[in-house]
C-alpha cells in the first residue's frame, strides 16, 4: 500500500521523445503525480511556477541538454531531486550528470522494477534531505536565538558586574571614588612615585559647619550640597589626581607628581576659590567654606594609612584655627594629636572617677556692689596631670558627645550646691550654667532640667541657663519653642558672649530671654577705645528697650568697672571681683561682701556646704 508521502510526490518528466514520456507516465503515474515536458526549456519554465519533488530527464535532448539543465534546476529549485536518463552507450554522460548535481540515473532500455526502485529511493532521500535541512534550519534558529539570549545574558551580567564594581568603588551620592578605590589608587600611585622619586600630596578636607546645615535645612539639602561640592571639587583637579568622598562632610584628594608644598597650597586655594559662588540647596543660596589638611609623601609617610592620618591631623588643626584654612602636617601635630587622644581616653573615665569639680565666679551688682549670682565653671583635676584647662578638654567633650553626660553632671551639681546654700541660709543667688549646642539639641532637654530641679530642690528662679549667640541663631523656630518651654519652668535664659556672633535684631526681639551677657572683647580696651564704649552703650540701650538685663564679663580693672557702671550695665563679672572659686571659698567671699545678709539668717559664713549628689 502506498504511503502518503509517495502519493503526494510531484514528478516532472522531461524528454523530447513522446514514447519515453508516455512509458514513464504510465509506469509512475499510479504512485505519483506526474507532469511531462517535451524539452528542457519547457521544464525550466514550469519550474519557475511549480514545485516538484523530482525531475526525471533525458541527458540528450534537442536545444538545452539534460546536463546543461541541471545547474539551472539547482538554481530554480535547490530542494528538487534530479534523475538523469541515459542510454547504455552514454554511461559517461550519466556519470558527469551525477557530478553536476544529479541525484541518480536510469538507463535505457528501461528495467521497470529498477526504475521504480530508483525513483522511490531518490524520493526517500529527497524527503530525508528536506527533513534534515528543516532540522538544521531550526537548529540554526535555536542556536541563533540561544546565542542572542546568551549575548544578552552576558551583557546584562557585565552591566551587573559593572554596577557592583561601581557600588564597591564609587559613592552613589557624589559619584566620586570611595575610600576603597582611593586607597587602591593611592597605593598604585605611591609605588610609582617612589620608583620615579616623585612627590605626591594627600589632602584631607571637610566642609565647615556642615552639621549646622544638615540640622537646620535637613539631610536632603545637605546631600544636595555634598553633590554640588563634589562637582566643583572634581572640576578643580587634574586628570592624574583622584578625589574621593569619605563620608559626612569629608573628602580626600590625591595629587600626584607635585614638585613642592607651594603646588599643594595652590590646589587648596583653587578649591577655596571655587566656593566663592553660592550653592543652591533646599531652596536657598548657601555660602560655605572648607578646611584642608595636607601631608606629603614620602616626607610625612610612605603608606596610605600614615599619610591619611597625618593629613587628618593637619585638618584638625585647620579647623581649630576657625576653618576656611589649610594646614600642612608637621611632626609636633602628631604629638599634640596623641595628647588629645590620651585626654579623650582619660575624659571618658573622669566622670566615673569623680575627677570634675565646679568653681563659681561671682556676679556683682553695678549699683550696690553686692553679689547677685554666680556662674558655674567646670574644672578637671586629673590625678596625674593635675588641673587641666577647660580649653583643652571642653572641645574634646563636644566633639565626642561626652559634653552631654558632663553637662548633666554640671547642671545637677550646680543646682544641688545652690539649693544647699539656700537651705543653709545663704542669700538667694542665681547660679548660671552653660549649655552647649549638643545639650541644647537633646530632645529631652526640658525634661532633664525639670527633673534636676525636682531632685535637687532648687527653686527654678535661681537657675539661669547660658547659651551662645551662634547657638540661638540655629534653627530659629525650634530654638524659640525650646526656650519658651524652659522659661515656662521659671528659669532664666541669658545669651553668653553677646556681640561676638552674628545676631539678627529682628530675631533677637522674638527670643524668650532675660539677659544679654556682653562679650569680654568689648571690655579689654573700653577705657582707651571709644568704639568699644560706644558698642557697649548701644547693647545696654538695646537691652533696656527690650526689657533685658545686662551682665558684662571680663572686668579686670577699676577703670573698666567705673565706665561700665556709668554706661548703665546691671551686673559685672571678672577677676577684678574674684577669680572662679571652689564652693567653700565662694562662701567666704560671700560673707565678706555681704555679712549683714548672713547675720539676718543667723548663719556662720564659715559653714561648709556640700551638695548631696
Cβ atoms of residues 465 and 493 within 8 Å:
yes
Q: Which residues of 376-389 are buried (b: 16+ CB within 10 A; e: fewer)?
A: bbbbbeeeeeeebe
Chosen domain end from 329, 356, 380: 329
| Same domain, yes or no: 323 and 359 | no
Q: What is the CATH number of the domain that holds 550?
A: 3.20.20.450
pLDDT at 317: 85
User: If we measure between CA atoms, which residue out of 264, 171, 173 comes closest to residue 226?
Assistant: 173
- DSSP class of residue 43 equals H
Mean pLDDT of the chain: 85
| Residue in 254, 112, 276 with CA at minimum distance from that of residue 190 | 254
The residue out of 275, 304, 329 marking a domain boundary is 329
The tens digit of pLDDT for each residue in 165-220 reads 777 889 989 999 999 899 888 888 766 644 455 678 899 999 998 888 887 788 88
Which class for 69: exposed (0-12), middle (13-18), buried (19 or more C-beta within 10 A)?
A: buried
The total of other beta-carbon atoms located within 10 Å of residue 95's CB is 14
State mean pLDDT over 37-55.
93
Query: Given 329, 360, 383, which residue is the final one in a domain?
Result: 329
Under 8 Å between Cβ of 495 and 509 = no
Instruction: Supply the pTM of this predicted model.
Output: 0.55
- Measure the CA–CA gap between 22 and 36, rounded to whole angstroms: 9
In eight-state DSSP terms, residue 187 is: H
In a domain, 84, yes or no: yes
52: containing domain: 4-135
Check whether residue 183 and residue 128 sit in a common domain: no
93 in any annotated domain = yes
How far is residue 345's CA from residue 580's CA, in Å, rounded to a whole number?
Answer: 27
Contact indicator for 527, 554 with CB cutoff of 8 Å: no
pLDDT at residue 2 tops 50:
no
Banded pLDDT at 505 (limits 50, 70, 90): low
| Domain co-membership, 455 together with 517 | yes
252/372 same-domain check:
no
Q: Considering the domain boundaries, does residue 365 fall inside one?
A: yes
- The x, y and z cell numbers of residue 496, run together, are 553668653
Q: Find residue 571's DSSP bridge partners.
A: 365, 551
Same domain, 15 and 46: yes
Residue 500 and residue 367 share a domain: yes
Question: 242 has which bridge partners?
Answer: 254
pLDDT score for 188: 80
Residue 174 lies in a domain: no
| 420 domain-assigned | yes
- Distance of alpha carbon 434 from alpha carbon 419, whole angstroms: 18
Helix pair angle (530-545, 558-567), 10° resolution: 40
pLDDT one-digit tens code per residue, 419-445 = 999 998 888 899 999 998 888 888 899
Q: Enumerate residues 6+ apart whose C-beta is below 8 A from 235.
A: 274
Q: What is the pLDDT of residue 15?
A: 92
Q: Is 467 exposed, middle or buried (0-12, 13-18, 19+ CB in 10 A)?
A: buried
Q: Which residues of 539-559 are buried (b: 16+ CB within 10 A; e: fewer)?
A: bbebbeeeebbbbbbbbeeee
Instruction: Cell 554511461: give the residue.
Output: 91
Those residues with Cβ within 8 angstroms of residue 579's Cβ, 6 or more apart along the chain or in another chain: 361
Residue 578 has pLDDT above 70, yes or no: yes
- 3-class DSSP state for residue 195? helix
Residue 599: its pLDDT value, please?
Answer: 34
For residue range 479-492, list pLDDT tens digits in order: 888 999 999 999 99
Q: How many domains does the chain have?
A: 3
DSSP per residue, 335-346: HHHHHHHHHHHH
Q: Is residue 145 part of a domain?
A: no
In which residue are the cell numbers 573615665 written? 349
Rounded CA-CA distance 301/239 in Å is 24
**Cβ neighbours, 10 Å, residue 245:** 25
Cα(497)–Cα(553) distance, integer angstroms:
8
CA distance 426 to 423: 7
Q: Among residues 48, 64, 54, which one has the least CA distance to residue 105?
A: 54
Is the CB of residue 386 less than 8 Å from the CB of residue 444? no
Q: Does residue 607 surpass a pLDDT of 60?
A: no
- Rounded Cα–Cα distance for residues 74 and 141 (Å): 24
- Regarding whether 199 and 96 lie in a shared domain, the answer is no
- pLDDT tens-digit map of 228-259: 999 999 999 888 889 999 999 999 999 888 87
Cα separation, 553 vs 538, whole angstroms: 16
* 357 domain residue, yes or no: yes
In 4-70 the beta strands, taken as DSSP E runs, fall at 10-14, 33-37, 54-58
Amino acid at each position: 500500500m502506498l504511503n502518503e508521502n509517495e502519493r503526494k510526490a510531484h514528478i516532472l518528466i522531461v524528454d523530447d521523445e513522446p514514447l519515453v514520456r508516455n512509458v514513464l507516465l504510465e509506469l509512475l503515474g499510479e504512485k505519483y503525480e506526474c507532469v511531462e515536458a517535451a524539452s528542457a526549456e519547457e521544464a525550466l519554465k514550469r519550474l519557475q511556477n511549480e514545485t516538484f519533488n523530482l525531475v526525471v530527464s533525458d541527458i540528450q535532448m534537442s536545444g538545452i541538454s539534460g546536463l546543461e539543465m541541471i545547474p539551472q534546476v539547482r538554481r530554480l529549485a535547490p530542494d528538487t531531486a534530479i534523475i538523469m536518463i541515459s542510454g547504455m552507450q552514454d554511461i559517461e554522460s550519466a556519470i558527469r550528470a551525477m557530478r553536476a548535481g544529479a541525484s541518480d540515473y536510469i538507463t535505457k532500455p528501461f528495467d521497470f522494477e529498477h526504475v521504480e526502485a530508483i525513483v522511490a529511493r531518490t524520493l526517500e532521500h529527497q524527503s530525508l534531505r528536506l527533513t534534515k535541512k528543516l532540522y538544521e534550519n531550526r537548529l540554526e534558529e535555536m542556536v541563533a536565538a540561544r546565542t542572542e539570549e546568551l549575548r544578552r545574558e552576558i551583557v546584562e551580567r557585565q552591566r551587573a558586574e559593572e554596577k557592583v564594581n561601581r557600588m564597591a568603588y564609587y559613592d552613589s551620592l557624589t559619584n566620586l571614588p570611595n575610600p576603597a578605590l582611593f586607597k587602591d589608587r593611592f597605593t598604585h600611585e605611591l609605588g610609582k612615585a617612589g620608583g620615579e622619586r616623585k612627590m605626591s600630596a594627600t589632602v584631607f578636607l571637610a566642609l565647615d559647619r556642615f552639621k549646622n546645615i544638615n540640622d537646620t535645612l535637613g539631610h536632603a539639602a545637605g546631600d544636595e550640597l555634598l553633590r554640588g561640592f563634589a562637582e566643583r571639587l572634581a572640576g578643580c583637579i587634574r586628570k592624574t589626581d583622584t578625589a574621593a568622598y569619605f563620608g559626612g562632610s569629608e573628602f580626600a584628594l590625591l595629587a600626584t607628581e607635585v614638585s613642592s608644598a607651594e603646588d599643594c597650597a595652590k590646589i587648596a586655594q583653587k578649591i577655596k576659590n571655587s566656593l566663592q559662588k553660592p550653592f543652591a540647596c533646599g531652596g536657598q543660596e548657601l555660602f560655605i567654606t572648607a578646611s584642608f589638611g595636607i601631608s606629603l609623601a614620602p616626607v610625612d609617610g610612605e603608606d596610605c594609612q600614615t599619610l591619611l592620618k597625618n593629613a587628618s591631623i593637619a585638618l584638625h588643626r585647620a579647623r581649630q584655627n576657625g576653618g576656611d584654612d589649610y594646614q600642612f602636617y608637621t611632626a609636633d601635630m602628631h604629638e599634640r594629636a596623641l595628647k588629645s587622644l590620651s585626654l579623650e581616653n582619660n575624659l571618658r573615665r573622669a566622670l566615673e572617677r569623680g575627677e570634675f569639680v565646679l568653681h563659681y565666679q561671682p556676679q556683682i551688682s553695678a549699683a550696690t556692689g553686692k553679689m547677685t549670682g554666680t556662674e558655674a565653671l567646670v574644672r578637671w583635676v586629673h590625678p596625674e596631670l593635675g588641673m587641666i584647662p577647660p580649653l583643652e578638654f571642653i572641645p574634646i567633650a563636644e566633639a565626642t558627645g561626652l559634653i552631654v553626660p558632663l553637662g548633666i553632671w554640671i547642671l545637677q551639681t550646680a543646682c544641688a550646691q545652690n539649693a544647699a546654700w539656700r537651705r543653709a541660709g545663704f542669700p538667694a543667688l542665681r547660679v548660671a550654667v552653660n549649655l552647649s549646642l549638643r545639650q541644647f539639641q537633646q530632645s529631652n532637654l526640658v525634661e532633664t532640667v525639670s527633673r534636676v530641679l525636682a531632685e535637687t530642690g532648687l527653686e527654678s528662679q535661681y537657675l539661669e541657663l547660658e547659651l551662645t549667640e551662634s547657638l540661638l541663631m540655629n534653627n530659629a523656630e525650634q530654638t524659640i519653642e525650646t526656650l519658651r518651654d524652659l522659661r515656662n519652668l521659671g528659669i532664666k535664659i541669658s545669651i553668653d558672649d553677646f556681640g561676638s556672633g552674628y545676631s539678627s535684631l529682628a530675631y533677637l526681639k522674638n527670643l524668650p530671654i532675660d539677659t544679654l551677657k556682653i562679650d569680654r572683647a568689648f571690655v579689654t580696651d573700653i577705657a582707651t577705645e571709644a568704639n568699644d564704649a560706644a558698642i557697649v552703650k548701644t547693647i545696654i540701650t538695646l537691652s533696656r528697650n527690650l526689657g533685658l538685663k545686662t551682665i558684662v564679663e571680663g572686668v579686670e580693672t577699676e577703670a573698666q568697672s567705673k565706665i561700665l557702671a556709668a554706661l548703665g550695665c546691671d551686673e559685672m563679672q571678672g577677676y577684678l571681683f574674684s577669680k572662679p572659686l571652689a564652693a567653700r571659698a565662694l562662701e567666704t567671699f560671700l560673707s565678706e561682701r555681704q555679712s549683714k545678709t548672713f547675720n539676718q539668717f543667723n548663719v556662720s559664713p564659715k559653714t561648709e556646704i556640700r551638695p548631696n549628689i
